[in-house]
Amino acid sequence: MRRNRFIVWQRFFLLTPVLLLLLLAFALPLLNIAPEAFGGHAAERFLRIFASPVYRTVIWTTVRISLEATAITLVVSFPLAWLLSRATGIKGLLLGLLVLVPFLTSVLVRTFAWLAILGQRGLVNATLLKMGLISEPLPLLFSEPAVVLALVHSSIPMMVFALVSVLRRVDGRILLAAHTLGANSLRAWIGILVPLAIRGIQSGVIIIFLFTMASFIAPAFLGNQRQQMLAQVIQSEIETGADWAFAAALGITLAVTATIIVVGFSMIARYLSRWQRPGTLPPSVPQQQAEQVDTALLRRPAAPPKSHLRTPALVRFGARFVQPAYLGAISVFILLPLVVLIPVSFSSADVLIFPPPGYSMRWFEKILGSQEWLAAALTSLRIGAATCVLSLVLAILTVLGFGRHFRFQGAAEALVLSPVTVPSVVFALGAYLTFARVGLVDTETGIIIAHTVLIFPVVYLVASATYSSIDPWLSLAAASLGANPWRIFRTVTFPLLLPGLAVGALLAMLLSFDESVASIFLSNLSVKTLPRKLWEGIRFNTSPESAAVSAMLLGVTCVVVIAGMAVVLGRRKNLPLTLQSAPEPLP
Amino acid sequence: MRDNSLPAVSFQGVTRRYGLVTAVNDVSLDISPGEFFALLGSSGSGKTTLLMLLAGFDTPTEGRVLMAGTSVSDVPPHRRRIGVVFQNYALFPHMNAADNVAYPLKMRGVGRSEREARVKAALGLVNLTDRWASYPSQLSGGQQQRVALARALVFGPDLLLMDEPLGALDRRLRDQMQQELKRIQGELGITVIYVTHDQSEAMAMANRIGIMAGGRLLQVADPETIYAAPSSHFVARFLGECSILRVTATDGGRGYEIVGARQALPSPEVTPFDIVVRPENVSVHPLPEAASNNAFGVPATIRDITYLGAGWRVTLELSDGQSLLASIVRGDDVAGYLGPGKPVVARWAPASVAVLPAEGSP
């Protein structure tokens, strides 16, 4: 009894900081949008949104583009996720990097790169002109397909992660079974693999849909300015400081629209996954006399599977190239925007041209000699470091606070992860409106708080996965050997948690360094983070200067990824079991 | 439909290499229609690879696989007309039992009425008609096994492959399923290739057994022959308990001598050879046994006695240091002389001896 109360208090103290952060810096800002939106002349405001064809078009455009991008992302990512879930060794490592590096590269950088690919004098037009396929450059930029393309590119890594976690658990023999029963590859995939991955598809689709609904960078850079998206309108309302109440009303509109569609997705997924919740067993009638079985029918072979093509040998031959062709195409699509930055950043021209007319270091010299860029980089570093430390501390406290046996683990985890499930632009809007009241807008503290809210859930996920891979019997062993709870943590739990925390720290640093949405909302004149400065730079002139900054950001990402891999792989060599097998649970 | 003069399956010099590893090494084997063939080997012996080659998930590096006389190398797995029961059943968790069984029929575009009749017949065959609406997660291991079997048989395949199908079941259920598999095979007259590492399962069910090790097929024979006359040390040790004894050949291979005792063999053998003696063929007698002094008898000392319920297993040590196992059935009058360290005489009949080429000799 006393021991139970002790555990309850201990848990309470460990979880208090997290709860305070979520309450003050996450829930409060979100709640703050409502009074702003509904205060005074609310009816007029919402009438302006829903009655005017302009805003109705904006809402419809937002939903349409988001649905298009989500659907394409799902189709394109599914095979990659399957291959990644089956890959081992060097192939697994390379496929993992293919997904991880773009994931950790700033959305701003990835979107910007499309300017150099799709522009009037960009990579695609230059190539087509050279091959003589066209005589005039195609107007590829500032169109809906350009926005969808960039959004799909940004979404692939997240979708793959969501799918892989489910596909890993699918027994590969089930596909073999489908083949022996007469299904060709396509039918086996659609009839068996897709239904089994329904949970991953559900979470991936919801994550991507929320992400695309909330995106304003891609439509701002690549979209047709007469065809704006909601988040874009919200952002410009805030940036021009015009009408906060109207921005809040738009935020509410976005949140409600997104919620309705997400609920729709969930209902469809629930229907499709109803087999995972079979009801009570149908009453089993005890078998009376064994019925006469028609064995003659079973002896007779059923018709062979129909072949739609008459030359199966040729099809088999062709099928051998499907996988390499797909992998090649998807790799080019994922990597091209990253790779293209490098030649562009060494361009000698004043404008964004591909291929560059000549090469020089002038843009790098310009950045490194510029006080503004250096100051922005230092600001981002300071914010990143602070976010990293705060996120780590909060993640450790949360993991320990939840412990191993927590009755409300599911609900509590959903609470901790809730910042990831709200469209980032809505949170950024709420944070802006709230922080403005307490003087935190345009300060480093404000951005650090917002980044911590957005990033600590990710660190928590990494730390929690590491924690659950630690054998719980070790703590009992340490206790039986005379260690008190603090010394158990210091000598056993913490050292084993360290690799997970190191990866989490790198991740937090990088995500904060690259975070664009909250940074763009919360910084203005006095505090400029690197993404904010880059955002301004690209908006006002798309010179190779921005490409050089982007290339450097990409370089930072690569260095951090390599460092992270060194941590994980080095650790695995020493402790081959810590990350592989789940330990036996305590009784 | 089926031409009974041709083997149902024929492996002709099949080899499969993965880089430097040879998983299957020059296997040639014919399996007759209607035969229940067990492929027996420990894990890593190549038996599953051989199965995958037959099912079409892999292609041989050398050699070829024929079904009913025609090469199947150009036939993809989904057109091979082979029913496969996988080790973990590989049932589709999102379909109920009837839908699982109907799946191969849907893939073949079988009409609704025939489909329903076939599903009913297949579920009836495995005595699972009343559970047709259950999802795999609602079925016990044995019931899942039955669904997997019905699913593999429903489309009237030429051949049924089973990869360790009973491995996950407990002892009692396994015995019951063995009986049923035999019954079903008899009713349908289908050719079965059954992969297992459990020798008693192979013995109980198969018409013929093929023993694999290191990618090679070591011996193929009916269960009695393979038990009584193993062709190598490996096969002898793999199937049941036995003692392999080094002996000196006498009379140019017409007999042998072991620690002073001589025995003639029914037929002459190529020298040098070792002999295999199964424990159940060894009888143990008290040492001062005047009546049969001239008879064959090997002097030995009891090292260890294990009580097994139905009898005892006795480990004997011969005077030259070789050890010999004997199993003694309860009821033999043994209480007087069984005890560790006691000297005894061991006997066995010449007909119960199997002769092997001596290890290390060509």
- The reply to whether omega before A355 is within 30° of 0 (cis) is yes
pLDDT at A485: 82
A351 part of a folded domain? no
> From CA A410, how far away is CA A406, in angstroms rounded?
9
Instruction: Place B307 in a pLDDT band, splitting at 50, 70 and 90.
Output: confident
- The secondary structure of A94-134 as a DSSP string is HHHHHHHHHHTS-HHHHHHHHHHHHSTTSHHHHHHHHTTS-
- Whether residues B77 and A177 touch (CB distance < 8 A) is answered with no
Structure tokens at B193: 């290739």
Cβ distance A301 to B137 less than 8 Å, yes or no, reads no
In which band, very low, low, confident or very high, does the pLDDT at A144 lie, cut at 50, 70 and 90? Answer: very high
B-chain residues near A316 (CB < 8 A): 74, 76
Chain center to CA of A575:
30
User: Given an 8 Å threshold on Cβ–Cβ distance, is A297 in contact with B118?
Assistant: yes
Structure tokens at A72: 């394409």
Tell me the pLDDT tens digit for each residue of A190-200: 999 999 999 89
Ramachandran sector of residue B242 (left: φ over 0; alpha: ψ -120 to 50; beta: rest): beta
User: Is the Cβ pair A281, B138 closer than 8 Å?
Assistant: yes
Of A91-100, B20-29, B54-63, B338-347, the one with minimum mean pLDDT is: B338-347
Q: Which residues of A touch B (CB under 8 A)?
A: 171, 173-174, 176-184, 187, 191-192, 195-196, 275-276, 278, 281-282, 284-287, 290-291, 293-295, 297-307, 312-313, 316
One-letter amino acid at B223 equals P
> Helix, strand or coil for residue A46?
helix
> Cβ B134–A278 below 8 Å, yes or no?
yes
Which of chain A's residues have a Cβ under 8 Å away from the Cβ of B55? Answer: 176, 180
- Alpha carbon distance A172, A294 (integer Å): 33
Q: Give yes or no for a cis peptide into B272 (omega within 30° of 0).
A: yes
Distance CA A523, CA A324 (A): 45
In a domain, A407, yes or no: no
Q: Where are the beta strands (DSSP E) in A54-207?
A: none
Closest CA to B118 of B142, B102, B129, B137: B102
* Sequence letter at residue A220: A
Stretch A283-304: mean pLDDT, rounded? 70
Q: Evaluate whether residue A166 is within a structural domain.
A: yes
The predicted pLDDT at position B62 comes to 93
Cβ proximity of B165 and B87 under 8 Å: yes
Domain that holds residue A187: 55-242+331-339
The count of other CB atoms within 10 Å of the CB of residue A226 is 9
Query: In the sheet that B273-277 helps form, which strands lie side by side, from edge to edge?
Result: B243-246, B273-277, B354-357
CATH number for position A111? 1.10.3720.10
H helices of chain B, where?
47-55, 97-107, 112-125, 141-153, 171-188, 199-205, 223-228, 233-238
How far is the first Cα of chain A from the last one, in angstroms, to the nearest whole number?
A: 19
Nearest to A23 by CA among A14, A32, A34: A32
Indicate the SS3 state at residue B255. Answer: strand
- Rounded CA-CA distance B280/B311 in Å is 11
The count of structural domains within chain A is 1
pLDDT digits (tens, 9 = 90+) for A523-545: 877 888 888 888 888 887 777 88
pLDDT over 50 (residue A552): yes
Answer whether A139's CB lies under 8 Å from A367's CB. Answer: no
Please name the residue of chain B whose CA is at the shortest distance from the CA of residue A293. Answer: B121
Q: Which residue has the tokens 């991880």?
A: A100
pLDDT at residue B320 greater than cutoff 80 = yes
Query: Taking Cα atoms as reference points, which of A513, A427, A521, A176 lies closest to residue B57?
Result: A176
The SS3 of residue B264 is strand
A298–B129 CB contact, under 8 Å: no
- Residue A35, amino acid: P
pLDDT at residue B1 in the model? 44
Q: How many CB atoms lie within 10 A of CB A507?
A: 22
- Least confident interval from A225-234, A521-530, B137-146, B195-204: A521-530
Q: pLDDT at position B336, please?
A: 67
CA dihedral (A410, A416, A420, A425) in degrees, to 10, reads 140
pLDDT at A9: 80
DSSP labels, A384-452: HHHHHHHHHHHHHHHHHHH-S--TTHHHHHHHHHHHHHS-HHHHHHHHHHHHHHTT-TTSHHHHHHHHH
Please enumerate in sequence order all residues whose Cβ is within 8 A of that of B342, keeping only pairs 6 or more positions apart, or say none. B301, B302
Whether A190 is in a domain gets the answer yes
Decide if A314 is inside a domain: no
In the structure encoding, which two tokens stand for residue B230, read together? 């193993």
In a domain, A554, yes or no: no
Q: What is the CA radius of gyration of chain B?
A: 25
Which of B71, B82, B107 should be substituted to probe chain A, the one whose Cβ sees the most A Cβ atoms within 10 Å? B107
- Predicted confidence band at B362 (pLDDT cuts at 50, 70, 90)? very low
In a domain, A72, yes or no: yes
Does the distance separating the beta carbons of B130 and A303 come in below 8 Å?
no
Contact between A205 and A74 under an 8 Å Cβ cutoff? The reply is yes
Q: What is the ipTM of this complex?
A: 0.79
Question: Checking DSSP bridges between strand B82-85 and strand B159-163, what pairing results, if any?
Answer: parallel
* Class of residue A254 by CB neighbours under 10 A (exposed 0-12, middle 13-18, buried 19+): buried
Give the burial class of A142: count Cβ atoms within 10 A of its Cβ; 0-12 exposed, 13-18 middle, 19 or more buried.
Answer: middle
- Whether residue A507 is contained in a domain is answered as no
Looking at the complex, report in whole angstroms how far the Cα of residue B209 sits from the nearest Cα belonging to chain A.
24
* pLDDT given at position A1: 46
d(CA A30, CA A422): 9
Q: What is the pLDDT of residue A299?
A: 84
Rama region for A143: left / alpha / beta (φ>0; ψ in -120 to 50; rest): beta
Q: For residues A329 and B9, what is the distance between their CA atoms, to the nearest angstrom? A: 41
Query: Considering only CB atoms, which chain B residues are within 8 Å of A173?
Result: 86-88, 90
- Tell me whether residues B134 and A180 touch, CB distance under 8 A: no
Tell me the pLDDT tens digit for each residue of A387-413: 999 999 999 999 888 877 777 778 888
Can you tell me the distance from the alpha carbon of A450 to that of A511, in angstroms, rounded to the nearest whole number?
Answer: 12
Query: If DSSP codes are grouped into helix, strand and coil, which group holds residue B220?
Result: strand
Domains of chain B in sequence order: 9-237 (3.40.50.300), 242-357 (2.40.50.140)
Of the listed ranges A51-55, B167-171, B203-207, B230-234, the one predicted with least confidence: B167-171
Q: How many CB pairs under 8 A join A and B?
A: 150
